[in-house]
Amino acid sequence: MSRHVFLVNGTKRTVEAPAAMPLLWVLRDRLGLTGTKFGCGVGVCGSCTVHLDGKAARSCQTPISELGGRRVTTIEGLRNEAVRSAWLAEDVAQCGYCQPGQLMQAAALLSGSAHPSDSEMDAAMNDNLCRCGTYLRIRAAIRRAASGDARGS
Amino acid sequence: MPTRRAFLRVSAVSAGGLVLGVRVLGAAVERLAPPVAGAPALFRPNAWVRIDAAVRVVLTVGKSEMGQGVRTSLPMILAEQLEVDVDAVALEQAVPGPDFPNLGTAGSRSIRSLFLPLSKAGAAAREMLVAAAAARWGVEPASCRAESGRVLHPATSRALGYGELVEAAAALPVPGDPPLKRSADFRLIGRDRRRVDGPRIVSGEAVYSGDVRPPGMRFASVIRCPVAGGTLRAFDAGATKAIPGVRLVAPIAAGVAVIADDTWAALEGRDAVAKTVVWDEGENARVSSEAMRERLAEALSNERDGHAIRRGEDALAAMEKAARRIQSEYAYAFQAHAPMEPLNAVADARPDRCEIWAGTQNPNGVQEEAAKLLGLAPSAVTVNVTLLGGGFGRRGTDYVIEAVEASRAAKAPVQVLWTRQDDMRHDLYHPISLHRLEAGLDAAGKPVAWRHRQASVVWTSAAGRPATEQRLRSDLTGAQDQPYAIPAFVAEFVEVPSPVRTGAWRAIQNNHNMFAVECFMDELAAANGADPLRYRLALLRDRGRYDGGRENVPVDRDRLARVLALAGEKAEWGAAGRGSAPGSGRGVACGVYDGYTYCAVVADASTGGGHWRAERIVCAVDCGIAVNPLGIRAQVEGAVAWALSALSTQVTLRDGRVEQATYRDFPILRFREMPRIETHVVPSDAPPTGMGEPPVPVALAAVVNALSAAAGRRLRRVPLAADDLKGA
């Protein structure tokens, strides 16, 4: 057990935890932020995606010991309303479970590339899995968010 | 055909409110204590509509939301007839109990079974509100109409809100058979409606069972025997001594539960204990996929084994007399559900009661099994159904009961969370099967005899049970009711014991049966040098009706012919250049899902270097009245993704163990691999049918047919084998 101090959604948090404890479980079980989802635990599905200093990161692969002083943003703290609105306008979600991770991944993509091409989207989104098959609508939502058109059709 | 009548009665008059009880599925009315004071003793409704003075409408039904959109589409149906805005209708999740003895979400049945009851309930409430207003004004009800939560009397320009009328309406008799709006007057049904849960999903506030946190809840991980059917011999609970946060290590029926203060401690504890566990692996410890394939092949070739469904003339005799005979074998592997949310549930088991939070498709089963385990009356067990992070047929009871056992052991609320590896290795898999199809053709190339012989494992819940006609129809769905008009027909089923647990998997038996039928149809067309779409149409158009599906319901071949022709037209089937480039191909398939939903798909796909890709999918469906077209398109997209995944994934066994562990070796479809998809819905006034499953097997077969065309050889295995695509 050791003490770890870092920012979560703009608030300083201090957590006593074993050094190897993944951020995913810190968020869900210690801080009560259950929007970040457990999908695989081995970094192959993207459901647990958060932002670490603004970049997309798999929280299941990020031990708390690496967080010292860093900024964590979760779905609850995502400020990109354009992405959220686009997701609603395209009616992306089916079961919805992977969508917080998809949104965080897409928001990180858009913050680095305001108008991502299809191949940029492919590269950024390909490791975020969705068993319901919402990929076409995710692509459309990213396009919509990039265009700044949040209205529904 | 079973009729689905709705029984309506006023069940209670609450303060300032109108409450209607609806009996869905019109079974015998049972003599039981009234669920609500004042309710007629003989009437036990299982869906409720409540309207209060603030015109909040609460609809209570027992359908689980797992992405198929029931929480959006069911309120649309009620609001349409009730003449309120759909946003005014809140859907409340039913809790198992006397009012709700038979909750369950499966088989693409939600819309099909609830459309009429909810329409009738909405119409009855509307008629009562209109009658209440007419009485107050002293006018004829027929001179009034309902609109947007108000009753209007146009002749005198008067209006009363529902809120002012609910109390008076509640005192009126309930119309037994209220008139329904005509579909031409629909203002909600048939228009795109976005998912009601969307805002909560994108904010991260949507609640799945793993997000429930009753006070004092602990977190558990369960070590299970790697071989199905194995039993626990020994383990060392002391192995967790050095791991902070582990509270208890307890044996449960499924294995050993490690219960801790958080998930990470539970997982660490689990790893430590797992090293000390000794199993008796039992009789399945040597089973491999090769052995399974041999078992199936042997069962298929033992001609005396099995049970048959025959239609028309003697198929074997007709086969002997046919001008030509064609035969092929098809194989479909074990498949895992692999929903993004690994199985999990929360239970708080006390000596005298139990509360459960679970994303489950079978809440009554959970209640019953938990009550039995704990020695409680079912009424002492409360089951709260949360959102499901994908259901696909997997979410029944087993993982929920583990949480109940762990909670009883820990004397605290406990969440049991399966790891991804647990989820992959202890699934209720889609059955493995092997099919031999044989057709006798007449001189013109038309099939006059058809034999579909299948060896398969069956669902664990049905294994070893007598092969009744009903069970055979179910195991052979998609095979026994293949849609083509063939005068001599037999479908045969041979059950093979399964070394792993098996169960429902999106589109159930149709997956393998329609795959075999629709790929074989392409082979028949090819043997005749015929166009596969026109060859099918000739066996459907003007060929009348037949009884299909598990329930022997009337199926109209012309409706299938229409969706097939529509898919062909929209995809420009037969147009020059389409699918003719090297390495690319087009395929078509069609089918009637369980006798209800008509679907056809034209697929464009390509192969090269041992890889394949679906490029474009054109899907035409006739699902009767299209309640929410936006949701229908979503279900087609999801079904296509499900089908394409199945062409790459499989569950294999070695030494009785499932070899796959995560998405790394169970490679479901990815973002980059998603094809373009067009959905065309046939306008219809027929009663609506389900859409969650029907396109799955049709899309799969169409893509396999497209890839067979692209590869220049018939592909007959699911998943596709790299060898089959090599050199293509």
pLDDT of residue A143: 98
Which of B44-58, B251-265, B559-573, B609-623 has the lowest average pLDDT? Answer: B44-58
Do the chains contact at A137 and B390, CB–CB below 8 Å?
Answer: no
Write the pLDDT tens digit of every residue in B165-185: 988 888 888 887 889 999 999
pLDDT of residue B298: 98
Do the chains contact at A84 and B392, CB–CB below 8 Å?
Answer: no
Pick the residue from chain A with its C-alpha nearest to B194: A91
Establish whether the linkage from the previous residue to B154 is cis, with ω within 30° of 0.
no
The pLDDT of B476-493, averaged and rounded, is 98
Q: Which two tokens stand for residue B300?
A: 């298929």
Q: For the stretch A42-70, what's the b/e string if a residue is b when 16 or more beta carbons lie within 10 angstroms of its beta carbon?
A: bbbbbbbbbbbeeebbbbbebebeebeee
A135 at interface of B, judged by CB pairs closer than 8 A = yes
pLDDT of residue B141: 97
Do the chains contact at B390 and A131, CB–CB below 8 Å?
Answer: yes
Tokens 């293509």 label which residue? B728
- Give the containing element (helix H, strand E) for A2: strand A2-8
Write the pLDDT tens digit of every residue in B211-232: 999 999 999 999 999 999 999 9
Q: ipTM value of the model?
A: 0.97
Residues of A in contact with B340 (CB under 8 A): 37, 39, 45, 47, 95, 97-98, 129-132
pLDDT of residue B55: 81
Smallest CA–CA distance, residue B505 to chain A, in Å, is 13
Kindly state the DSSP code that residue B179 receives in the 8-state scheme: P
A61 at interface of B, judged by CB pairs closer than 8 A = no
Residues of A in contact with B645 (CB under 8 A): 131
The pLDDT of B534-563, averaged and rounded, is 96
pLDDT of residue B1: 31
Chains A, B: CB pairs < 8 Å: 181
User: Rounded CA gap, B430 and B332, in Å?
Assistant: 9
B216 at interface of A, judged by CB pairs closer than 8 A = no
Pick the residue from chain A with its C-alpha nearest to B388: A95
Do the chains contact at A132 and B67, CB–CB below 8 Å?
Answer: yes
pLDDT of residue B41: 37
Top residue of B202, B616, B618, B666 to mutate, by most chain A CBs within 10 Å, is: B202
Do the chains contact at B202 and A88, CB–CB below 8 Å?
Answer: yes
Neighbours of B668 (CB within 10 A): 21
C-beta of residue B714 within 8 angstroms of C-beta of residue B611? no
A117 at interface of B, judged by CB pairs closer than 8 A = no
Query: Which one is predicted more confidently, B564 or B113?
Result: B564
Write the pLDDT tens digit of every residue in B657-693: 999 999 999 999 999 999 999 999 999 999 999 999 9
Residues of A in contact with B210 (CB under 8 A): 28, 34, 37-38
Which of B204, B263, B670 is closest, CB to CB, to A25?
B263
Write the pLDDT tens digit of every residue in B705-716: 999 999 999 999
Alpha-helix runs per DSSP H in B379-462 = 398-410, 420-425
B670 at interface of A, judged by CB pairs closer than 8 A = yes
User: Rounded CA gap, B327 and B140, in Å?
Assistant: 70
Residues of A in contact with B664 (CB under 8 A): 42, 44
Top residue of B671, B674, B696, B700 to mutate, by most chain A CBs within 10 Å, is: B671
pLDDT of residue B698: 98
The pLDDT of B144-152, averaged and rounded, is 97
> In this structure, which amino acid lies at residue B106?
A
C-beta of residue B564 within 8 angstroms of C-beta of residue B590? yes
Residue of B495, B520, B523, B527 whose CA lies nearest to B509: B495
Pick the residue from chain A with its C-alpha nearest to B636: A133
The mean pLDDT value of chain B amounts to 92
User: Rounded CA gap, A91 and B195, in Å?
Assistant: 7
Smallest CA–CA distance, residue A86 to chain B, in Å, is 10
User: Rounded CA gap, B208 and B341, in Å?
Assistant: 9
Query: Which one is predicted more confidently, B622 or B6?
Result: B622
- Give the containing element (helix H, strand E) for B277: none
Do the chains contact at A131 and B392, CB–CB below 8 Å?
Answer: yes
Write the pLDDT tens digit of every residue in A41-84: 999 999 999 999 999 999 999 999 999 999 999 999 999 999 99
pLDDT of residue B472: 94
Kindly state the DSSP code that residue A102 receives in the 8-state scheme: H
Do the chains contact at B389 and A127, CB–CB below 8 Å?
Answer: no
pLDDT of residue A66: 97
B242 at interface of A, judged by CB pairs closer than 8 A = no
* pTM higher than 0.90: yes
Which of A21, A45, A138 is closest, CB to CB, to B264?
A21
Residues of A in contact with B206 (CB under 8 A): 96
Write the pLDDT tens digit of every residue in A121-140: 999 999 999 999 999 999 99
